[in-house]
Amino acid sequence: DIVMTQSPLSLPVTPGEPASISCRSSQSLLHRNGNNYLDWYLQKPGHSPQLLIYFASNRASGVPDRFSGSGSGTDFTLKISRVEAEDVGVYYCMQALQPPRTFGPGTKVEIK
């Protein structure tokens, strides 16, 4: 199974400031079709997860452009250009390259 790790696990943020979360996989997520099968999800308190990013850098429909994803192979990053209060929750990366799909442990983002 592909093991996913994230850092930091806890991230206090100041509204209006940028934030960054790192995700690493135990093997490359780069498919022969040229896409990295890495998603980012946000789970707000008391809610189901919601898709932010797929293929490492493609923003899902309706996701604000302050969210961006980057990286390739085994190292990926989610960036929030200017954090807003509504961005609090737990952020998960997930590899979609092969079964079993595996998630990172999650990064809890909270307002300072």
Partner 1 sequence: QVRLVQSGAEVKRPGASVKVSCKASGYNFIDYTLHWVRQAPGQGLEWLGWIDRDSGKIQYSQKFQGRLTITRDTYATTAYMELSRLISEDTAVYFCAREGQTSGWYEGCDYWGQGAPVTVSS
Interface contacts to partner 1, rule CB under 8 A: 35, 37, 39, 41, 43, 48-51, 53-55, 58, 60-61, 90, 92, 94, 96, 99-106
- Amino acid making up residue 54: Y
Nearest residue (CB) to partner 1, 16 versus 48: 48
Nearer to partner 1, 14 or 27 (CB): 27
- Smallest separation (angstroms) from partner 1 to the CB of 61: 7
Question: CB–CB of 37/4 below 8 Å?
Answer: no
Q: Least CB distance from residue 58 to partner 1, whole Å?
A: 8
The minimum distance between CB 18 and partner 1, in angstroms, equals 23
- How far apart, in whole angstroms, are the C-alpha atoms of residue 9 and residue 21? 9
19-25 vs 10-13, strand pairing mode: unpaired
Residue number with CB closer to partner 1 (7 or 43): 43
Q: Minimum Å distance from CB 74 to partner 1?
A: 19
Q: Which residues are within 8 A (CB) of 26 and not within 5 positions of it... i.e. 6 or more apart?
A: 2, 3, 4, 74
Asked if the bond preceding 64 is cis, omega within 30° of 0, the reply is no
* Two structure tokens written together for 66: 């302050």
The smaller minimum CB distance to partner 1, of residues 48 and 65, is found at: 48
